[in-house]
A = this chain, B = another copy of it.
Amino acid sequence: MATAAFDKLAILGIGLLGSSIAHAVKAYGGAKTVALWDGAEDVRTRAKRVLSAEVTETAEAAVTGADCVILCTPVGVFGEVTQLISGALQSGAILTDVGSVKATAARDMAAHCPEGVHLIPGHPIAGTEKSGPEAGFASLFQEAWNILTPLKGDDEVYAQAVDRLIGFWKQLGARVETMDPVRHDRVLAITSHLPHLIAYNIVSTAYDMETVEQGEVVKYSAGGFRDFTRIAASDPVMWRDVFLNNKDAVLETLGRFSEDLAALQRAIRWGDGDTLMKEFTRARGIREAIIDAGLDTAEADFGRRHIDPSADK
């Protein structure tokens, strides 16, 4: 195992991401000791049961002596949590996060981050629809991209801190990229935020159909709907905060989505098969690029996720 990047790692917020980092550090290294804290007493109690690392009663206790602090709470409380720990952060420490938005996250953390602490926002693109301290597992970050959005490139001490943080994530198996926070928020608006919004919305629409019974929706969900329910099972608080904190990029992307959808709607209404064919065909191009990049080997499967088809493939 490589030398640990950090002596003491503090993880604030013990959900899927926080608990996964604790598991991953135990499995692959990255820090000599780990302390975790969560704002909810119930979560701390559950975390003590399932994690083999220290769970502290206060955020300050977790942070004290830590050379790296990772915020894993919903992004909506980043400012508040940073304020809570600002007195306990040691000079030279790294303050980072795993939030799905970066511009407002950086702003909220920066507002309370003491001088001498290296603020390096980050976002590992990894997760499942599960939440809570029981949901974490060590391999979550393996081969997943992690985007860091460093604030200043010209400071040598800061650049060294960035390198250290990159080394930490690589030790957990992640691939690391750096990017401007505003660009991050634009890219993720289309690759992650809009897909989640759409998934939540279609499940909501299904809920309200008086012409179709909910039991029928459940029973025949294998035709595509089921995949959306999986995405829409993600943590509501986390996603509320994402949308409230990436408003401009999401609204811009959503506006385009709605325009495009209106064009498809018009094509359906007027029986314009050529337009439908054109749009449906080019979707395959992006799919092939994803497969070519080795980023997905899974198949869509409508009606057979629960069985193993390998026997007669």
Tell me the A residues contacting B by CB distance below 8 Å: 23, 27, 76, 100, 124-130, 137-145, 147, 177, 186-188, 190-192, 194-209, 211-212, 214, 216-234, 236-237, 239-241, 243-244, 247, 250-254, 256-258, 260-262, 264-265, 268-269, 271, 273, 276-277, 279-287, 289-290, 293-307, 309, 311-313
Do B226 and A125 touch across chains, with their CB atoms under 8 A apart? Answer: no
B260:A258 contact, CB within 8 angstroms: no
Determine the chain B residues whose CB is within 8 A of the CB of A290 once the complex forms.
Answer: 218, 221, 226, 229
Contact B206 A277 (CB under 8 A): no
B187 & A243 in contact (Cβ 8 Å cutoff) = no
Determine how many copies of this chain the complex contains. 2
Shortest beta-carbon distance from A220 to chain B in Å: 5
Interface SS majority for chain A: helix
Which chain B residues border A190 with CB–CB below 8 Å? 205-206, 209, 212, 217, 225
Whether A257 contacts B205 in the complex (CB less than 8 A), given A198-B198, A293-B219, A300-B234, comes out as yes
Q: Whole-angstrom distance from the CB of A255 to the nearest CB of chain B?
A: 8
- Is the beta-carbon distance between B216 and A187 smaller than 8 angstroms? yes
Q: In the complex, A302→B188 CA distance in Å? A: 13
**Can you name 5 A-B residue pairings with CB atoms under 8 Å?**
A128-B299, A137-B312, A190-B225, A295-B306, A296-B306
Residue pair B195, A223 in contact (C-beta under 8 Å): yes
Expressed in whole angstroms, the Cα–Cα distance for A299 and B280 within the complex equals 27
* Shortest Cβ gap from A226 to chain B (Å): 5
| Residues A229 and B286 in contact, CB atoms below 8 Å apart | yes
CB distance from A201 to the nearest CB of B (A): 5
Q: Please, which residues of chain B bring their CB within 8 A of the CB of A177?
A: 219
Residues of chain B within 8 A of A222, CB atoms compared: 125-126, 144-145, 191, 295
Q: Is B225 within 8 A of A303, CB to CB?
A: no
Bound Cα distance A148, B16 (Å):
42
Contact of B220 with A191 in the complex, beta carbons under 8 Å: yes
- A269/B287 in contact, CB under 8 A: no
Chain B neighbourhood of A279, CB < 8 A: 200-201, 204
Whether B191 pairs with A280 at a CB distance below 8 angstroms is: no
Partner of A268, one of B191, B192, B251: B251
